[in-house]
Structure 1
Amino acid sequence: MPKPKAGIVYNDIKPIACKVASEITEKLTACGWDVCMATGMGGILEYSTPGSAVCHTRIEQLTPANFDPSVKFAVVLGGDGTVLSAFRQLAPYHIPLLTVNTGHMGFLTESYLSHLNDDLEQLMSGEYEIEERSMLAVRVFRHDTILWEALSLNEMVLHREPLTSMCHFEVKIGDHAPVDVAADGIIISTPTGSTAYALSAGGPVLTPDVPVLQLAPICPHSLASRSLVFSDREPVTVFPATPNRMVMVVDGNGGCYILPDDHILVEKSIYPAKFIRRRSPEFFRILREKLGWGLPHIAKPTSVELP
């Protein structure tokens, strides 16, 4: 009977993540598991440059060679960037991930190093829940030729280059009539991404279980131009309605230049992100702990003394 198989994705530029990855490997191996490893760098998207061809790596080609669908779970050691990278690599294999914070805020991480021994015991015994979150499939086309694609857990951002003026974006959602957005840029985000760049741009916070996407303008020209929430069954096509070259960035990690003849197709991916939860997900608790949402203000006096 083959041994059960587990994976580790770690941030190899952080000594603590490297050290803990070795410790986890020793523990799992001693318990009869096979362990495969990959670094967060494997899911880092490349940028194109104005003078070279657009880098095109298919979504399914980012999966590490030593991983396969038989991997029961993977432990991610790093911050939010490593988590985003890990899902780009492993979501096509439907591998659930336990995300362990070795970074700073770690909004996307579930656990901490101090809990890791207990976490591993639960993982090996299968005593955990899985929370699925939607991801985006982002594809860039020039006429009918695909130039670039990627999975995205947070958002796709299309914005103007520095030293250029405000841009226009023609956005078509599903079968609805196209709309024109005049702004410095636009963000199309998942509910997970609603607490990232979209939140800074004035968009609402969306709970992860809501089947929607969000369109948020960046520094819009009109006061009437505000964030729009719509069904995630609707694909979104974005046309740059401006003669200027633009820049597209996915998950703050990689992207390409967008020329006037290009267009971007954004739709819900067939690959969900599977988060391992040690207990039932409690999104409002994370908002409170990480972003300070819903914390009580200063205590109100029980009585007021008149002067």
Structure 2
Amino acid sequence: MPKPKAGIVYNDIKPVACKIASEIEEKLTAAGWDVRMTTGVGGILEYSTPGDPVCHTKIEQLTPSNFDRDVKFAVVLGGDGTVLSACRQLAPCGIPLLTVNTGHMGFLTETFLSHLDEAIEKLLAQDYKIEERSMLTVRVFRNNALLWEALSLNEMVLHREPLTSMCHFEIQIGEHAPVDVAADGIIISTPTGSTAYSLSAGGPVVTPEVPVLQLAPICPHSLASRALVFSDREPVKIFPATANRMVMVVDGNGGCYILPDDRIQIEKSVYPARFIRLQSPEFFRVLREKLGWGLPHIAKPTSVELP
């Protein structure tokens, strides 16, 4: 009878992540698991350059060759960047991820190294729930040919280059009439991405289970241009309505240059990210712990004693 398969994805530039990855591999192997290991590097999208504007890797080709749908779970060791990378690598196989924070903010991580032994015990006992988060499929077309594509858990950002003026964006959501947005850039984000760049640009926080996407303009040149929340069943098409070259970035990780005649198409991906939750998901607790949302204000003193 073949051994059950488990995976480990780790940030190999962090010594602590490398050390813990080896320890988990030994523990799972001793427990009778066939362990597959890979680094988060395989999910990094990289950037195109002016001399090499095409940086195209098909979505399904990011999955490591030693991972498949028979992998029961994968332990991810790193920060939010490693989690984003692991999602791009393993979402096409539907592999659930136990995310362990070895970074700083760790907004997307489930547990910490100090609780790792307990987490592994629950993992092996199958004492957990799986939460699915929607992802985006982002594609760039040039002359109707696919130029670039990627999975995105957080957001797609299209913005002007430095030293250029404000840009215009023609945006069509579903079958609705196109609209023109004048701004430095625009963000299309998932509910997960609502607490990332979109939040900094003035967009609302959206709880993960709500089936929507949102559009947030960056520094809009109009009081009427505000964040918009819409159904995730509607695809989005973006046409650069400006003569300037633009830059597209996905999940703050990689992207490509966008020329005036290019077209960007964004839609909810058929591949959700699947996260292992060791306790019932409590989104407001995460907001409170990571971003300080909802914490009580500390009252100022009513009087000050002078020396």
| Category of TM-score, reference length = shorter chain | over 0.9
2:216 corresponds to 1:216:
yes
2:277 corresponds to 1:277:
yes
Q: CA deviation at 1:222?
A: 0.3
2:233 corresponds to: 233
Q: CA deviation at 1:44?
A: 0.2
SS in structure 1 opposite 2:208?
Answer: coil
1:111 corresponds to: 111
1:171 corresponds to: 171
Structure 2 Cα separation of the partners of residues 234 and 9 of structure 1 = 33
Q: CA deviation at 1:51?
A: 1.3
2:265 corresponds to: 265
SS in structure 2 opposite 1:199?
Answer: helix
Q: CA deviation at 1:143?
A: 2.1
Query: Superposition pairs for residues 12-31 of structure 1, below 5 Å?
Result: 12-31=12-31
Query: Superposition pairs for residues 41-60 of structure 1, below 5 Å?
Result: 41-60=41-60
**Worse-matched range after superposition: 46-55 or 91-100:** 46-55
1:3 corresponds to: 3
SS in structure 2 opposite 1:45?
Answer: coil
**Gapped runs of 5+ residues in structure 1?**
none
Q: CA deviation at 1:203?
A: 0.2
Structure 2 Cα separation of the partners of residues 257 and 53 of structure 1 = 6
2:198 corresponds to: 198
Q: CA deviation at 1:3?
A: 0.6
Structure 1 Cα separation of the partners of residues 44 and 266 of structure 2 = 19
Q: Is the 8 A contact 2:166 2:184 kept in 1?
A: yes
Cα deviations across residues 163-203 of structure 1 (Å, max 9, x unaligned)? 00000000000000000000000000000000000000000
Distance 1:112 1:227, change over 3 A: same
Structure 1 Cα separation of the partners of residues 73 and 114 of structure 2 = 20
- Structure 2: which amino acid aligns with 1:176? H
- Output the TM-score relative to the length of structure 1: 0.97
Q: CA deviation at 1:122?
A: 1.1
Structure 2 Cα separation of the partners of residues 209 and 143 of structure 1 = 37
1:73 corresponds to: 73
Q: CA deviation at 1:121?
A: 1.1
Cα deviations across residues 263-301 of structure 1 (Å, max 9, x unaligned)? 100000000000100011000000000000000112599
Cα deviations across residues 233-272 of structure 1 (Å, max 9, x unaligned)? 0000000000000000000000000000101000000000
**Gapped runs of 5+ residues in structure 2?**
none
Q: CA deviation at 1:231?
A: 0.1
- Structure 1: which amino acid aligns with 2:104? H
- Structure 1: which amino acid aligns with 2:252? G
Structure 1 Cα separation of the partners of residues 262 and 138 of structure 2 = 13
Structure 2 Cα separation of the partners of residues 112 and 76 of structure 1 = 11
Q: CA deviation at 1:224?
A: 1.1
- Structure 2: which amino acid aligns with 1:120? I
2:154 corresponds to: 154
2:123 corresponds to: 123
Structure 2 Cα separation of the partners of residues 253 and 300 of structure 1 = 42
Q: Kindly report structure 1 stretches of 4+ aligned residues shifted beyond 6 Å.
A: none
Q: CA deviation at 1:217?
A: 0.2
Q: Is the 8 A contact 2:236 2:267 kept in 1?
A: yes
Query: Superposition pairs for residues 79-98 of structure 1, below 5 Å?
Result: 79-98=79-98
SS in structure 2 opposite 1:220?
Answer: coil
Query: Superposition pairs for residues 133-148 of structure 1, below 5 Å?
Result: 133-148=133-148
2:188 corresponds to: 188
- Output the TM-score relative to the length of structure 2: 0.97
SS in structure 2 opposite 1:32?
Answer: coil
SS in structure 2 opposite 1:100?
Answer: strand
Q: Is the 8 A contact 2:53 2:257 kept in 1?
A: no
Q: Is the 8 A contact 2:184 2:218 kept in 1?
A: yes
Report sequence identity in percent: 83
SS in structure 2 opposite 1:293?
Answer: coil
Let me know the Cα RMSD of the aligned residues: 1.2
